[in-house]
Chain A
Amino acid sequence: MLIVSAIVSGLSLGAMYGLIALGYHVTYAVSNTVNFSQGSSVMLGAVLCYTLWITFGWPVTLAVVVALFLCALFGLVVERFLVRPFAARGSNAWLMATVAGGIILDNAVMFSFGKEPRSLPSVLAQKPVSLFGAGVYPLQLAIPVVGIAVALGLHVLLNRTRAGKRLLAVVQNPSAARLMGIDVKRAIALSFAASAVLAGLAGMLIAPLLSVSSDMGLMFGIKAFAVAILGGIGSASGIMLAGFLYGLAEALITALLGSSYTQILVFSAVIAALALMPNGLFGRAAVKKV
């Protein structure tokens, strides 16, 4: 009973981490940069969905679509003002700039949305169903499905379609890609928009299980980055797998050893894994073709 419920909890948590971590993968695959305000994009998706749907009373589908569109816009802004100016100079300052951007967004939301956590209702998170004797909300089962579908979709998009190959060409050799008529700037901007949309989607899926508040994204952002690195940031399927492993480790350690040890052991395991496999559990060493 203890083990079964921990496995179910762990897999559903892991799927959330994986889904958010895919956002890191998308921008990394295209531009070798990462949006460290990813956690804030998670929060933005949930807060916008709550505001448009519950506060303004819009139909839920419209609220979701508009919220995701605004997330995409946020991703574009991050790329244009917090990444591009620094990356163009060959500087790594985009790292700190995106962290700062996230903090600014969190605080802006705190002032406008309020600090009090609110509840995003969902029919999929009201009545638990029994799975091998452990109770779960249907939403907890839906999240892994969405996560795996998104990971597969990204894999197919990047490796099997012309547009995807064009994107990958950008990261391998931006100037050659430009010479071949690929709009490099647009490709990178789009990847940031896509990454923010993925995070916003994750936020909406997670919110009914947690609650909506301005600081909800912080811990998710950090854990998801650990997952992205662990899985090998260049591999979508690796990231989803690493997400499941991370979630399982968290839940099993809590269940078997007690919650005092969870964070210490999980993050130690992350460090150990990276020391032994520097490219992540499922990543391959980057080969730079000259």
Chain B
Amino acid sequence: MVRSLLKPRFALSRRAAVLGLGAAVLLGGAPAFAQETIKVGLVAALSGQSAKSGEAITRGLEVAIDEINAAGGVLGKKVELIRRDDESNPAKGVVAARELVQKEKVAAFFGGIDTPVSLAIVPFANQAKVPFISVWAAGTGITRNGAAENYVFRVSAVDELVDEAMIDYAVKTYKTAKPGLMLINNPWGESNEKGLKAASAAKGLTLAGAEKFDNADVDMVPQLTRLKEAGADTLFLIANVQPAAQVVKSLDRMGWNVPVVSHWGPAGGRFTELGGPSAEKVHMVQTYTFSGNLSKKGQTVLAALKTKYPQVTTLADVTPAVGIANAYDAMHLLALAIAKAGTTEGPALRQAFYEIGSYEGLIKSYAKPFSPTNQDALSKDDYIFTHFKGAEIVPVN
């Protein structure tokens, strides 16, 4: 009886000992293994509505990493990408970021399409002193976050600058004097309303009005009629693909042929299928497109994408290109920073970002892309205006 009571206890402790030993071996072995590669992370939407954005970012990063590794890696080590799905959920994004930093010990990590997720990660990145690089989300506060030591960098558009660029473009292209705003009724629409109003005021333009609509609205004719009666000569559109398509269809029904200049929302979906032929008339901000006259770099990257991903056959498969292009350039800039720092320690790496010299990138030639007062590598002059042609996004001539 006594034996039988004791036996299992012994057996248990022996099993525990074996487990403990195994764990010790594994843990002891882990740092040695980790030294062989430099890990970089990605927290982005890999499932759900925005899964395509996560896929595009992954492709841009992977192609850049292949190039870097083929040239011998960084600091003599290969670069390795570790991805986590945030499901477009800020709480899950923060958990994923913690895991990448604390468990996987990534040198730096990239963010996805959702501004709310990135904004939630920003305080953690600054506190953990690990560089966090936004390659899609455009919310102004992501990089301009007020931290004394800012570890957040971005290679993408910035809402506030997009608003200025849209106004500049409209004034130059359409001689806009009295624009009307068509805004989605959510925080994104709200923040751009502020930006567009400020940018209009700075240009001395008076607004015809600012109208809002919801995601599931069928008919925007009443809103548009108000703007028309108020004398709007151009419309600025802030919305994702479905409501943007409804705006286009409503304009069609009214027979109102007015220039529409849009943020990049419609680029994320089947805009021409949903909005009909008039959707092609909407001009949208992008940071890059693979259509049109490609630079040598553009041709190389496109060819690499086609080889690595057999699913990429037409240009419509690399639409929208912003995720791919931003991620590609950001990865190369990060590699330059690591090489400059000579280490993957956060504070040294952050400092090295400011010391990056010039880099011939996909989107542009970067020269001193970051400084402590400007953590955004792209300025409003780097944005291009595009429109849909069928399923493809091409530059406006």
Contacts and interface: CB of A to CB of B under 8 A. Distances in A.
A260 interface: yes
Q: How large is the interface on A (under 10, 10 to 19, 20 to 34, 35 or more residues)?
A: 35 or more
Given A13-B219, A216-B216, A219-B216, A255 B274 contact: no
Contact of B273 (A115, A118, A137): A118
Contact of B218 (A6, A134, A210, A258): A210
B176 interface: no
Contact of A137 (B216, B253, B270, B274): B253
B199 interface: no
Contacts of B269: 116-117
A258 B185 CA distance: 13
B246 A115 contact: no
Contact of A254 (B48, B218, B223, B274): B223
Given A12-B219, A260-B212, A115 B225 contact: no
A128 interface: yes
A206 B226 contact: no
B201 interface: no
B245 interface: yes
A5 interface: yes
B226 A258 contact: yes
B381 interface: no
A2 B221 CA distance: 9
Contacts of B211: 258-259
Interface of A: 1-2, 5-6, 9, 12-13, 16, 115-119, 126, 128, 134-137, 206, 209-211, 213, 215-216, 218-220, 251-252, 254-255, 258-260, 263
Q: 5 smallest A-B Cβ distances: which pairs?
A: A254-B222, A135-B253, A255-B222, A115-B49, A219-B216
Given A117-B241, A260-B212, 7 more contacts: A115-B48, A116-B49, A135-B252, A137-B253, A211-B242, A251-B221, A258-B226
29 contacts: A1-B225, A1-B229, A2-B225, A13-B218, A16-B218, A115-B49, A115-B51, A116-B269, A117-B270, A117-B274, A119-B270, A119-B273, A134-B221, A135-B255, A137-B253, A209-B218, A209-B249, A210-B246, A211-B242, A216-B216, A220-B216, A251-B221, A252-B222, A254-B223, A254-B226, A255-B225, A259-B211, A260-B212, A263-B214
